[in-house]
Chains A and B, each alone.
Chain A
Amino acid sequence: GQQVMQIPQYQHVQEGEDFTTYCNSSTTLSNIQWYKQRPGGHPVFLIQLVKSGEVKKQKRLTFQFGEAKKNSSLHITATQTTDVGTYFCAGDSNYQLIWGAGTKLIIKP
């Protein structure tokens, strides 16, 4: 079946270091969404990418959608404690929203 692979599963960073999570789809996507879920919380929409090669920025967050609309990435510059949580991508393919497994961002003490 259709899958969206997301890596890594976890990333431990020192505060101030960068963080990146990647999603790769087995099929071409109509669009891809990114959500953040804080510990004990619910998913919160971050952004939706629609166009091939699209790049969008939200302050320290940079989102990219690949040229073939099969892969996407989220990069956070200079992580802060408020960035802690699990980041999910969710790809829209044939009226199915396929979720990646998530990448948990952990700030080292």
Chain B
Amino acid sequence: DTEVTQTPKHLVMGMTNKKSLKCEQHMGHRAMYWYKQKAKKPPELMFVYSYEKLSINESVPSRFSPECPNSSLLNLHLHALQPEDSALYLCASSQFWTRYGEQFFGPGTRLTVL
């Protein structure tokens, strides 16, 4: 199984809502990532988890809260978002995070903040 799954595919939320994005992989990868992608832009790294520990937080606002419950799952908890946070949120995984290797991306969650 070489697939990264993400739910939901689409999400519309108000600025006062709390929601969560979910990501799952069963490839035995020990590094998992959250990216944010705006239209016509490259993916922008938000967080890196290595062996279920947060290794990188790219100065992401605290209204985004990542969680890695186990080696297969990655969540992104959203609270009090702003309209400018509307974007495609991509989860990715790779075998390790010592040197970046091939990253497998999920299909993404398209988030709209009203």
Contacts and interface: CB of A to CB of B under 8 A. Distances in A.
Contacts of A31: 99-100
14 contacts: A33-B100, A42-B90, A43-B43, A43-B90, A43-B105, A45-B102, A48-B101, A88-B42, A88-B43, A90-B100, A92-B99, A95-B99, A99-B42, A99-B44
A61 interface: no
Interface in B93-114: 99-108
A102 B99 contact: no
Interface string A19-54: 000000000001101000000011111001000000
Q: Which DSSP category, helix, strand, loop or mixed, fits chain A's interface? A: strand
Contacts of B40: 102
Contacts of B45: 97
Interface in B50-108: 90, 99-108
Range, interface on chain A? 10 to 19
B47 to A, nearest CB: 13
B111 to A, nearest CB: 14
Scoring A42, A43, A92 by chain B CB atoms within 10 A of each residue's CB, the highest score goes to: A42
Contacts of B42: 88, 90, 99-102
Contacts of A97: 45, 100
Contacts of A102: 40-42
A48 B90 CA distance: 20
A43 B36 CA distance: 12
A91 B22 CA distance: 27
Interface string B13-30: 000000000000000000
B41 A101 contact: yes
A88 B44 CA distance: 12
A45 B103 contact: yes
B104 A45 contact: yes
Contacts of B100: 31, 33, 90, 92, 95, 97
